[in-house]
Amino acid sequence: MSDTTAITERGDTTQPTAEHAYITFRGVDKAFGRQRVYQGLDLEVQRGETLCVIGPSGVGKSVMLKMLIGLLPTDAGEIWFDGQLVSDIEEDQDYLPVRRRIAMVFQGAALFDSLTVYENIAYPLREQFSLPEDEIARRVAEKLEWVGLPGIEQMKPAELSGGMKKRVGLARGIATDPEVILYDEPTTGLDPVNTKRIGDLILSLSDRMHCTSLVVTHDMSTVFQVADRIAFIYDRRIRAVGPTEAMRSSPDALVRGFIEGDPAPFED
Ligand SMILES: Nc1ncnc2c1ncn2[C@@H]1O[C@H](COP(=O)(O)OP(=O)(O)O)[C@@H](O)[C@H]1O
Ligand SMILES: [Mg+2]
C-alpha cells in the first residue's frame, strides 16, 4: 500500500456510498465462459468530471461501458446511476430511459452509409422522441455546429474524411442531449491533428453540455489533454484511480509504466 492519499488503491478502507455517487461500480464480476474479465470492479464517477479509463487491449474497457448501459449483463455486484440500481434492470426496454441519458459514442463512427449526415444525426431523435421536423432540423444543425461541421447536412458518409466521420458520429451520439457521454476509443486511426481536435471537442462539449464524460482510450495525449482523473484497469479490476498528475507520479511502477509507455514493468 502506498501512502499517496490522492490515489485510491484497491484495499482502501473507504467505503463508496453508492447511493450518493453519480455512477458507481461496486464489486462487479463479469466472465465470458471461463474467461474472467472482472473480479471485484470498483469505480466511482463524479457528476461533471471527465474520467479517462486506460488499460491494455482486451482488459475489459469496452465491456465496462457496455455493462453500464445494459448492453452486457453483470454476473455479480452492483452498478448505480444517479441513485438507481441499474444493474438489477431485467427487461431491455427498462434500460431505455438510462440509455436516453447516457450516450455511447462507438468505436468507429458506424454511420449508415446510405443515409445523409442529416438522417444519421436525426436517427436517434426519431427513434426516441416524436418531434416536428423543424425541431429535428434545428437540433441536427446545432449538433453539427457543436462538432465544428456546420452545414454539411446533405453530405453522405462516403464524402467525409475519417476525422469528419468521427465528428458526425459524435454529433449523432449527442443528438438527444445526454447527461453522460461514453467515448470508446474516440481517436483510433486518427492523425495527431485530428486526435487533438477530438480532444478539444470532448472538452468543449463537456463545458457546453455540463455532461459527465468517460473516455476509454490508450492515446495518452488525449488523456493528458482532457482528463480530470484517470482510472487504470489491470488484472480484472481498477488497479489505481486518481487525478492525472498523481497518477503520473504513482508509486505503482505498472501505472507509471503504462502512462509513460514504458514496457519494462509489463514483462514477466
Ligand atoms: N460479447 C462478448 N462475448 C465474449 N467475449 C467478449 C465479449 N465482449 C468482450 N469479450 C472479451 O472480453 C475481453 C475484454 O474485452 P473489451 O472490453 O472489448 O476489451 P478492451 O479493453 O480492449 O475494450 C476480451 O478478451 C474480449 O474478447
Ligand atoms: Mg474496447
For 27, 97, 133, 138, 182, the CA distances from 125, given in Å and listed in that order, are 35, 14, 10, 12, 18
Q: What is the pLDDT of residues 24-65, one digit of tens each?
A: 999 999 999 999 999 999 999 999 999 999 999 999 999 999
Which residue has the CA at smallest separation from atom 6 of ligand 1?
Answer: 32
Which residue has the CA at smallest separation from atom 24 of ligand 1?
Answer: 58
Tell me the helices (H) and strands (E) count for the chain, helix number first.
9, 11
Sign of CA dihedral 74, 187, 264, 256: negative
Distance 3 CA to ligand 2 centre (A): 32
* Nearest-angstrom CA–CA distance, 223 and 211: 17
Estimate to the nearest angstrom the gap between the alpha carbon of 253 and the chain centroid.
Answer: 25
Nearest CA to 18 out of 10, 26, 9 is that of 26
Ligand lying closest to the C-alpha of residue 60: 1
> With 50 as the cut, is the pLDDT of residue 12 above it?
no
Estimate to the nearest angstrom the gap between the alpha carbon of 150 and the chain centroid.
Answer: 25
User: Residue 184 has what pLDDT?
Assistant: 94
- Per-residue pLDDT, averaged over 244-255, amounts to 93
CA dihedral (228, 208, 101, 216) in degrees, to 10, reads -40
What are the structural domains of the chain? 8-260 (3.40.50.300)
Q: What is the pLDDT of residues 115-168, one digit of tens each?
A: 999 999 999 899 888 899 999 999 999 999 999 999 999 999 999 998 899 899
Q: Which atom of ligand 1 is nearest to the CA of 66?
A: 17
- How many residues are recorded in the chain? 268
Distance 159 CA to ligand 1 centre (A): 32
* Nearest-angstrom CA–CA distance, 41 and 155: 43
Nearest CA to 153 out of 162, 163, 142 is that of 142
C-alpha grid cell for residue 190? 486518427
pTM listed for this prediction: 0.89
* Nearest-angstrom CA–CA distance, 161 and 2: 46
Q: Which atom of ligand 1 is nearest to the CA of 216?
A: 23
